[in-house]
Structure formats: C-alpha cells, structure tokens
Amino acid sequence: MESYPSELLLIAFVAMLAPLLTELPKGFRIPVVVLEIILGILIGPQAFNLATPDGMIGTLGELGLTFLLFMVGLEIDFDKIRGRPLSLAVGGWFLSLAVALLCMFFFSAIGLIQTPPLLAAIALSTTAVGILAPILKDRGELNTDFGKYLVAAAAVGEFGPLVIISMLLIPSHSTFVHTLFILTFVSIAFVAANIALNARPSKLIELLKKTMQSSGQLPVRICILLQILFVALAAKFGLNIVMGAFTAGIVVSLAIKGTDGELLRHKLDAIGYGFLIPIFFIVAGMKFEVSALWSAPLAPIQVMLLLLLLVLVRGVPVLLYKKELTPDEKLPFAFYSATGLPLIVIISEIGVSSGVMPPDRAAILVCAGMLSVLLFPILAVKLRGKFKLP
C-alpha cells in the first residue's frame, strides 16, 4: 500500500498536466485524451517506469472505462440521431464488418497477419465513441450536423461489436442459456428505459430537486447505483461490463431530459472527466506494449497494415453519406471513425484468455489500436482546422 500514494499523486499530476499542455500550441492543439495516453506511456513500465497499472491503479482504470462508457451513453441523444443518422450508421457498420471479414480472411490466408480473422474483423469494425465524445465536446462539434452523424456512427461502431462479442465470443454458458441471458438483460434494459421515460411521480421529482443542492446528492447517487447495477447484471449474464455501463448511461439519459437534468449532467461530467476518465486513458498508455513494435521482423509492417485497414474498414461507409457530408468532411469523418482502442483491448484479452490468439498477436492488434488513438484524432482535427476550438 505504501507505493500507492506516490503513484496516485503522479497520476493526478499527469491528469492535471494534460489539459494545460493542450493550451500551449497556438496554431494546433492536440486532443487532451491523446496527451493523457502519451503521458501514461512515459510514466509507465515501457518508458520511465514511474508507475505500474496494477492493484489500485488498475482498478481505478477499470472504473474509468465503465464511467467513460456510462458518460457516452449519457451523451447520446436519440432524438437527434434517430432517423437518417442512425440508419446510415447501422448500414455503414455492417458494410465495415463485411469489408473487414474479407480483408482479414485474405491476409490470414497469405500469412501476412496471423490473427483469428473473426476476432480481428470485429476489432477493425469498432469505433472508440468514448474517445471521440470528449474531443467533439471540447471542439463544440457534438451538436453540429457533422457531430450528430459521427456520434451515431461511433455509437453503432461500439454497440455492434459489443453485441457480437457477447453472443459469440464469451461462451460462459451453453448457446441457449447464453441467448436467454442476453434477452433477459435486454428486457431489463427496456423496462428500465420505459420507467425512465414515463414514470415521473411529482413527489419523487421534488425530492430529487431538493437533494440536488444538499450533501445528500441523491440524483448523483442514483445514477452511480444504476451504473453499478447494470455493470453487475452484464457480468452475471456473461456479457461484457462495457455493455452494462453503456446501457446505464442511455437509461439515465432518457430519465433526465430537459433543462432540469442539466445540473445533474454537469455533476456527472465533473466526476467522470475530472477524476475517473483521465485515469483510464493514463492507465491505457501505461499498458501500451511499445516493444510489440519490434517483437518480430514483420511486426512494424503488420501494425502499419492494421492501421491502414482501420481507415479502410471504417472509412468505406462514407460512401453512403453522399448528401449528408461535404467532400471536405468525408476524410475527417473516416479518420474519426477509424479511432479505436477500448474494444480492441477487450477483444484481444478475450482472444488470449480463450487460447485462440497468441499474446504477441494480441499485442500487435492493441498496438495498432493505440496508434489509431494517437494519430487519427490529430489528423481529423487538423483536417477540420476551419472549426476553431472554444
């Protein structure tokens, strides 16, 4: 326990330093999440070895991941993305998955990328909506037309792979029982969403408003309870905890519509983006296997090829946005959509733990995902340079 205070102090310092560093460049600013990952690499075992992502630090990182997906679900406004944005996002994701499967079966057949094709294809079809949401939020693009289409595409790019992982890649029970568990979880989520939309007793609303400004903070505590409840349900039903956190965020979002929910959103923002979420990105940087870049003669080529495939797979859907995006917006849209990490890490861990993916192959896949987070948002922001930062 003695090392934890000093490591926590270092991580807290890094979390404070990252947003300060984003203010230094005058002509161009690096997204804060990218800086948090870079600083995490520097203080981690692969660089200066000042802190390790184990024990309490690792637990805080996992809490940060769940809170990040909770906040992502909270940020999604279905009233804004339903209709054309959502239908294009669903069609685009299935197109991405089809392209990814073709590419991975081909490269696996010729021996250039020796990774289970299905696992790799699902990983390539993901989008890190939790990483993009803070960037779009900071740039004031979350509520623009570009932002609405991107958030819809990113949300489906996160949710689609989660469903496939939960149905096909986590066989903790028989197929029938596992399917029953998924349907049960979905049913509970729909019931909770219906209650959030329709059950609003006036006395309860008044109680929540009254305690919002007191030390009780009942609405905040209810939100955290719902998050933990859905995460626990997802884990019990053999699903990934990320799906539970994401679902909890959606349910809370439905419950706090309107101006009355703005104060609660600000409080949850403070907990998430001020504390837990930066720790997740810093810990992700600390876990980055830099040595994977030269672990084998073909490793650098494989990492670069996977990076290009990420852009190809998640960039192909821009062909569907003929009227929705201008020519200048399509390339940034592709780079943003190709940004992936959390699910790539999860898919790689599942592959290694189930014995179908060697650790060195998983490290290369994660390495490509990490580099996508470091490079693609910067390229997208640079291409969107006409939009000024707030």
- In degrees to the nearest 10, what's the CA dihedral of 233, 236, 240, 246? 0
> Average of pLDDT values for 310-326?
94
Q: How confident is the model at residue 2 (pLDDT cuts 50, 70, 90)?
A: low
Q: Which residues contact 264 (CB under 8 A, 6 or more apart)?
A: 212, 219, 220, 223, 256
Whole-angstrom Cα distance, residue 153 to residue 159? 10
Closest to 117 (Cα-Cα) out of 301, 304, 307, 347: 347
**Helix or strand run (H / E) with residue 198:** helix 175-198
> pLDDT (tens digit, 9 = 90+) per residue, 143-191?
889 999 999 999 899 888 877 876 665 555 556 676 777 788 888 888 8
Residue 375 has pLDDT above 60, yes or no: yes
Residue 388 has pLDDT above 50, yes or no: no
Q: What is the DSSP string of 115-127?
A: S-HHHHHHHHT--
Residues recorded for the chain: 390
* pLDDT in the model for residue 387: 46
* pLDDT in the model for residue 390: 40
Q: What is the SS3 assignment for 52? A: coil
Whole-angstrom Cα distance, residue 33 to residue 282? 9
Q: With beta carbons less than 8 A apart as the criterion, state whether 209 and 262 touch.
A: no
Of the candidate ranges 27-41, 88-102, 202-216, the one whose mean pLDDT is the lowest: 202-216
* pLDDT in the model for residue 126: 92
Residue 339 has pLDDT above 50, yes or no: yes
Strands of the chain (E only): list them. Answer: none
Q: How confident is the model at residue 261 (pLDDT cuts 50, 70, 90)?
A: confident
Closest to 313 (Cα-Cα) out of 344, 352, 353: 344
Q: Is 245 buried (19+), middle (13-18) or exposed (0-12) by CB count in 10 A?
A: buried
> Average of pLDDT values for 119-138?
87
Q: Taking the model in full, what pTM does it have?
A: 0.81
* pLDDT in the model for residue 135: 84
Q: How confident is the model at residue 340 (pLDDT cuts 50, 70, 90)?
A: confident
Degrees, nearest 5: CA angle 65-149-284: 20
Q: What is the DSSP string of 313-364?
A: HHHGGGGG-TTTS-HHHHHHHHHHHT---HHHHHHHHHHHHTTSS-HHHHHH
Q: How confident is the model at residue 200 (pLDDT cuts 50, 70, 90)?
A: low
Q: How confident is the model at residue 77 (pLDDT cuts 50, 70, 90)?
A: confident
The tokens describing 50, both together, are 């000042």
Of the candidate ranges 41-50, 288-297, 359-368, the one whose mean pLDDT is the lowest: 288-297
The tokens describing 308, both together, are 């290009």
The tokens describing 170, both together, are 């986590």
Say which CATH architecture domain 3-383 belongs to: Up-down Bundle (1.20)
> Average of pLDDT values for 184-207?
77
> Average of pLDDT values for 323-332?
92
Q: Is 352 buried (19+), middle (13-18) or exposed (0-12) by CB count in 10 A?
A: middle
Rg, Å, the chain Cα set:
21
Closest to 49 (Cα-Cα) out of 4, 2, 7: 7
Domain ranges across the chain: 3-383
Which percentage of the chain shows pLDDT scores above 90? 34
Separation in Å, CA 281 to CA 28, 231, 295, 296, 374: 21, 20, 24, 27, 11
CB atoms within 10 A of CB 59: 13
Of the candidate ranges 205-214, 258-267, 291-300, the one whose mean pLDDT is the lowest: 205-214
* pLDDT in the model for residue 389: 41
Q: Which residue has the tokens 């929705």?
A: 324
